[in-house]
Amino acid sequence: MKETSKKTKIVAFLIAIIVIAGIIVTLTIGLRFDLRYQTAKRIELYLQKEFNIEDIKKITDETIPNQEVIIQKVEVYEDSVSILSNDITEEQKSNLINKINEKYGVALSADNVEITTVPHTRGRDIIRPYVIPFIIATVIILVYMAIRYHRLGIIKTIIKTILTLIVTQALLLSIIAIIRIPIGRFTIPMVLAVYVLTLIGITSSFEKKLKDSIEKE
């Protein structure tokens, strides 16, 4: 019993250290965002013909070196390309368009292509669509927990469930901040996966305690 208590204290201490470190990193350095959510530069080119993204990627590697680049097909017929990067200078734009003209035999003009600035997307804007569904789902789960495990104490069950969910999510977000995982399209699935796994773990623990309680009676 003492050994179990000691291990629990060690785990709690480590979690607290990680969460505190995550908060410090977030407040001082900030979170790292995927290029799609950073302040970036974008150009769109109308090629009027089919193209291979890999070919465009080779051209951007030459003309916009040492930068992350996202290339996407746009328009219904996928005959236009959107190129997003941390920064695109006028010179880089001209070189890129010249190489694309050579590659595809088109006559794009650098003067007619505008470099647009894509503003940074705030973290709260990324999670906003999920907040209400997340709250509704959590309330329903807490009601179920209170009914299912009322023998274990309704208030105790609800508080333990809420605290466990908060701690695991705080731990996940702290790890994301510390090891600099980019905030992007995989962040919400990661949060949901940890949420579900946490609920499975809590339910398993409650089921065991409920079974022991019934057997004692």
Instruction: Please give the pLDDT value at position 174.
Output: 95
Is residue 57 domain-shared with residue 9, that is, in the same domain? no
Residue 217 lies inside a defined structural domain of this protein: no
Instruction: Please give the pLDDT value at position 51.
Output: 84
Instruction: Please give the pLDDT value at position 107.
Output: 85
Which stretches of the chain score pLDDT less than 50?
none
- Please, where are the H alpha helices in 45-89? 53-63
The answer for residues whose C-beta is within 8 angstroms of residue 86's C-beta and 6 or more apart is 35, 38, 40, 41, 67, 68
Are 66 and 26 in contact, with CB atoms under 8 Å apart?
Answer: no
Instruction: Please give the pLDDT value at position 20.
Output: 94
Is residue 59 domain-shared with residue 10, that is, in the same domain? no
Question: pLDDT tens-digit profile of 7-62?
Answer: 888 888 999 999 999 999 999 998 888 888 888 999 998 888 888 888 889 999 98
Give the domain extent around 135.
Answer: 2-33+122-212
